[in-house]
Amino acid sequence: MADPDRALAARIDRLESYGAIRQLAWRYAYALDRRDIDALMALYAEDVEVGRHHRGRQALYDEMVPALRRVRITILHVGTHVIDFVDDDHATGGVYCHAEVQPDERTWISQAIHYTDRYVRQDGRWYFAARRRHELFYGVEHGRNPVGLEPANWPVHDTGSGTLPGRWESWQQFWGRKTLSAG
């Protein structure tokens, strides 16, 4: 194959990979909201990392299903999705999500979430390579302003202020600066 043909094929592959990886986030929300556990598990590589010492879809299932049983209804609205390729078969990403959650019969909450992901392509298909890292901006019962809430200490509590955006170094640097550099 000539160099221009290879370059075009690589560009097409990259575009298709962006689409496939974005589909992972969308399908995750759809499967989770639906509690379609088989569809949810199929989004992860067979050797998915689940914490530091566990791997595989069964370990993921054993961790996720009890957590999903703690809540009733979830409605995940996937937003901004940034994808950075490490190489042709590995990528990382960040996904914003707004969630509406019914954790018990009387309560309805909103959450602003950021997922940090790692992706891997195996046998031509993209998967989550590790359990998604879920961090809260906030979780709040409907009708309350999230500004000034006590810390949620998620996953201990579903409501309250979360770790984001204050944990991000770029956020700390931005608010710590008195002036902008002229560069």
Structural domain range at position 107: 3-176
Q: Is residue 147 part of a domain?
A: yes
Of the chain, the percentage scoring pLDDT greater than 70 comes to: 91
Question: Which range in 17-31, 102-116, 141-155 is most confidently predicted, on average pLDDT?
Answer: 17-31
Q: Is residue 139 part of a domain?
A: yes
Residue 181 lies in a domain: no
> CA angle, 16 as apex, 10 and 19 as ends, to 5°?
145
User: Can you give the pTM of this predicted structure?
Assistant: 0.82
Is residue 151 within 8 Å of 161, Cβ to Cβ? yes
Q: Quickly state the pLDDT bin for 139 (edges 50, 70, 90).
A: very high
Residue 183 lies in a domain: no
Pick from 31-45, 46-60, 117-131, 139-153: least confident: 139-153
Domain assignment of residue 13, yes or no: yes
- Residue among 99, 95, 119, 114 at smallest CA distance from 44: 119
Q: What's the CATH number where 25 sits?
A: 3.10.450.50
For residues 173, 175, 179 and 183, what is the CA-based torsion angle, rounded to 10 degrees? 40
Domain count, the chain: 1
